[in-house]
Structure 1
Amino acid sequence: MTNRRTLLKATAFAALPGGLALPGIARAQAQVREIRMVEAGGLSGDSIEAGYIRPFTARTNIRVVRENPNPLGKLRAMVESRSITAVLFELGSLSTAIAQAAGLIEPLDWAAINPDPMFDEAKLPHAFGYQYYSTLMAWRSDAKPLSNWAEFWDVRAFPGKRTLPDNVTLALPMALLADGVAPAQLYPLDLNRAFRKLNQIKGSVSVWWSAGAQPPQLLKDNEVQYAASYSGRVAGQAGISLTYAQGLLDLAYFVVPKGANPAEKAAAMGLLHEMSVARNQATAAEVIPYTGASPTLEQLLPQARLNEFPTTRANKDAQVLGNPAWWAQNRDAAERRWQEFKLGL
């Protein structure tokens, strides 16, 4: 049980990261002994615990309770019922754009967060980008190496079975990159062109995966020789090679549900600060090879394993960031086309 006297003392002098003391925030945090967050679970959730929650609780004596899973529908239900049970909610980039457009989330108090330096796309008015991940090309190490999606599509020069995601937001950009579209010209997506390209490879795709654990297992079992996979699932895995070239780089965000308790929100801003600290991000990356938004993180990562992490300079520059705003406006039409495409598999 948190000692109230200790909590009051801690929040009075360490209400904000970096030694800043704003009395209003300190008073708000002093009222809070516990906050709840909804996150994705698994190793990602364990990395949040190790890298961010532990230093936050040590500094403030505020307990953080993790809950999962984290569908957008749960956030919507919270806000519409005016029963906000968690002050921080993890969302993918597309869900974040949808939630903001629907008025489900509040602006963050960036002055209270007082973040260390962050990449621009991670620092949004309504969302804190805390973890980068990639969907990239991986292959059995005894297969011919790949360097771009055009080669992934070239089943004659690179023979073998493939696995691709049963996910329209991933499959369409991959297809267009394979068809020669420059990364800077991807959006707005040309749906007709993308589906024509998907039709060219569908006969060599033995599994359209829906769970991130599938691609590495399919590769290890030699059921496929080439895979599109989440980077954290294949990085550092024996017998599997990968490249970040033309990888699809994405970002998971934390948001505050509209109507959250002000005192809990004030406390949560301190936890978000911990997520901006490079040394904390390095600790989180020891649990799972995804990375935070600090431009200085690379120097703190294991130098012999830099190719495993999505935001080292070499890997980040080689990838393509998505366009969540486009997807928020066009996802329904694209999904209808996707379901029609799957009927022909």
Structure 2
Amino acid sequence: MTKPALLQASLLSLAAVLAFSGQVTAEPAKTLRILTAGGEWTDAVTKCVDGPFEKKYGIKVELDTPAGYAKLAGLAQSGNVNVALMDLETSELERANANGLLDNIDWDKVKPFEMFPDAKKPYGFASTYFSTIMAWRPDAKAPSNWVEFFDTQNFPGKRALPDYPGYVLAFAAIADGVDPTKVFPLDLDRAFKTLERVKGDVIWWTAGGQSAQLLQDNEAQYSIGWSGRIVTKNDLKHSFNQGMLDTSWWGMPKGADPAMQEAALLYLHEYSDPKQQACIAQYISYTGPSPELDPLLPQDKLDQFPNFKKNRDVQYVTDGKWWYDNAAEVEKRWQEFKLAQ
């Protein structure tokens, strides 16, 4: 073998060894494409994370909407997975993972700042926490828990409830005596027992803003709503006690360009920085996955944030896998309940 050929063979062997040992990786792409849900949260992330990320790494962030499972499945079916990060709800994340549509996150490469343990899954990075909580008019008798909230005799008035089983059934089960710390696996019989009892006093809402508006218009006296729609309303009362803490997630679609995936891992590292998350909280009352956030948040608004320790400690974290595993049964019983009204 000639010396040039021998040298080439040696270099190829060295490259193979380094690649096998994980020392050779793709260079990050110069563009990172992300699918996001849009709205105020996305606007805040653009200001607080995307801008500094582009400046630091020279990688342009391109956003597109909508996000969600249907869009992910469509990309996979087309064979053109042109995004490296996607915004997914908890149940969507579990469904996508179960159907093999997500790559696992290389947490060793992300090297995140400290995160809540429930914010890290092999296939999901918790982007933001939000709560579903109880609210009521100031002239209504104040409930302290879900037993009282669903007690229409001692706490009279209409209830504005979400027309989504994932945001009402657990509370209804707690109202029947289920321990809030042991909600899952969810006892559907006890949940529907409560809803059957109160259905004559219920107004069902389908858009998040209605949870507060129905109270403000005095069409309902009590409501279940998403915290971001409730906590900034000074004319309403609310409580995080026994609230449901939920998460939106970053997932990495399987089949994306490896170079863009490398950029996505850098992006997740930056997103885990509590300073970036505190910046986001300046614009919207949802918080990220850092347990170091409280000192960095607006101190006059601490009680508005789902992950503020005082609020987090009195809530339970929803179980996305349970909802995915039992989706068919939940939907069947939900439709039967609604049709019978």
Which TM-score applies when normalising by structure 2?
0.91
Of the three residues 116, 127, 150, the one matched with 1:130 is 127
Give the Cα–Cα distance (whole angstroms) in 2 for the partners of residues 24 and 150 of structure 1: 58
Partner of 2:136: 139
Instruction: Name the larger-Rg structure.
Output: 2
SS at match of 2:289: coil
Tell me which residue corresponds to 1:256.
252
Residues 263-303 of structure 1, C-alpha deviation per residue, up to 9 Å, x if partnerless?
Answer: 00000111111211111101111111000010110111111
More off after superposition, 74-83 vs 255-264: 74-83
Q: Give the C-alpha shift of residue 143 in structure 1.
A: 2.1
> What is the CA RMSD across the aligned residues, in angstroms?
1.4
Deviation at 1:23, TM superposition (A): 7.8
Q: Distance in 1 between matches of 2:317 and 2:165?
A: 16
3-state SS in 2 of match to 1:211:
coil
Q: What corresponds to 1:203 in structure 2?
A: 200
What is the DSSP-based 3-state SS (H/G/I as helix, E as strand, rest coil) of the residue aligned with 1:142?
Answer: coil
Whole-angstrom CA distance in 2 between matches of 1:142 and 1:70:
40
Partner Cα distance (1:24, 1:49) in 2: 31
Alignment-derived partner of residue 319 in structure 1: 315
Unaligned runs of at least 5 residues, structure 1: 1-21
Q: Which segment drifts farther, 34-43 or 183-192?
A: 183-192
Q: 1:39 aligns with which of 25, 36, 39?
A: 36
Tell me which residue corresponds to 2:329. 333
Partner-residue secondary structure (3-state), 2:193:
helix
Q: Does 1:165 pair with 2:162?
A: yes
* Match of residue 209 from structure 2: 213
- Deviation string, structure 1 residues 199-254 (Cα, Å, up to 9, x no partner): 11111112x11211111111221211111000011112120111100101101100
Q: d(CA) in 2 for partners of 1:184 and 1:147?
A: 16
Show structure 1 runs of 4+ deviating over 6 A: none
131-140 vs 32-41, which moves further:
32-41
Which residue of 2 is the match for residue 224 of structure 1? 220
Cα distance in 1 between the residues matched to 2:201 and 2:321: 32
Change (3 A) 1:24 1:60: farther
Instruction: Tell me the secondary structure at the aligned position of residue 287 of structure 1.
Output: coil
- 1:295 maps to 291
| 3-state SS in 1 of match to 2:255 | coil
Amino acid at match of 2:52: P
Select 1:120's aligned residue among 93, 98, 117: 117
**Of the candidates 188, 192, 198, which is equivalent to residue 189 of structure 2?**
192
Specify the alignment match of 2:16 in structure 1: none
Question: Which of 261, 266, 269 in structure 2 is aligned with 1:270?
Answer: 266
Question: What is the rounded CA distance, in whole Å, between the counterparts of 1:53 and 1:24 in structure 2?
Answer: 27
The CA distance in 1 between the partners of 2:82 and 2:30, in whole Å, is: 14
Find the residue that maps to 1:296 and give its secondary structure. coil
Q: Please give the alpha-carbon distance, in whole angstroms, between the structure 1 residues aligned to 2:297 and 2:141.
A: 29
Instruction: Find the partner of 1:95 among 88, 92, 97.
Output: 92
1:71 aligns with 2:68: yes
Offset, 1:80:
2.3
Q: Which amino acid aligns with 2:261?
A: K
Q: Secondary structure at the match of 2:168?
A: helix
* Residues 210/24 of structure 1: CA separation in 2 closer, same or farther (3 Å cut): farther
Give the structure 2 partner of residue 13 of structure 1.
Answer: none
Looking at structure 2, the residues matched to 67 and 214 of structure 1 have their Cα atoms a distance apart, in angstroms, of: 27
| 1:304 pairs with 2:300 | yes
Determine helix, strand or coil for the equivalent of 2:242: strand
* From 161, 177, 183, the counterpart of 1:180: 177
Shift of 1:24: 4.6
Q: Hey, what's the Cα distance between the residues in 1 that align with 2:314 and 2:287?
A: 16
The residue type equivalent to 2:318 in the other structure is G
Contact map agreement 2:130 2:228 (CA 8 A) in 1? yes
Q: Indicate conservation of the 8 Å contact 2:82/2:257, yes or no.
A: no
Q: Name the CA distance, whole Å, in 1 between partners of 2:185 and 2:254.
A: 30
CA distance in 1, matches of 2:116, 2:138: 33
1:28 paired residue number: 27
Please give the alpha-carbon distance, in whole angstroms, between the structure 1 residues aligned to 2:45 and 2:23.
28
CA–CA distance in structure 2, aligned partners of residues 222 and 23 of structure 1: 63
1:41, 1:288 → 2: CA distance? 13
Aligned-residue offset at 1:322 = 1.1
- Among all aligned residue pairs of Structure 1 and Structure 2, give the percentage whose two residues are the same amino acid: 42
Alignment correspondent of 2:9: none
- 1:48 alignment counterpart: 45
Are the equivalent residues in 1 in contact too, given 2:68–2:86 (CA < 8 A)?
A: no
How far did residue 28 of structure 1 move?
1.2
Distance 1:136 1:241 in 2: 11
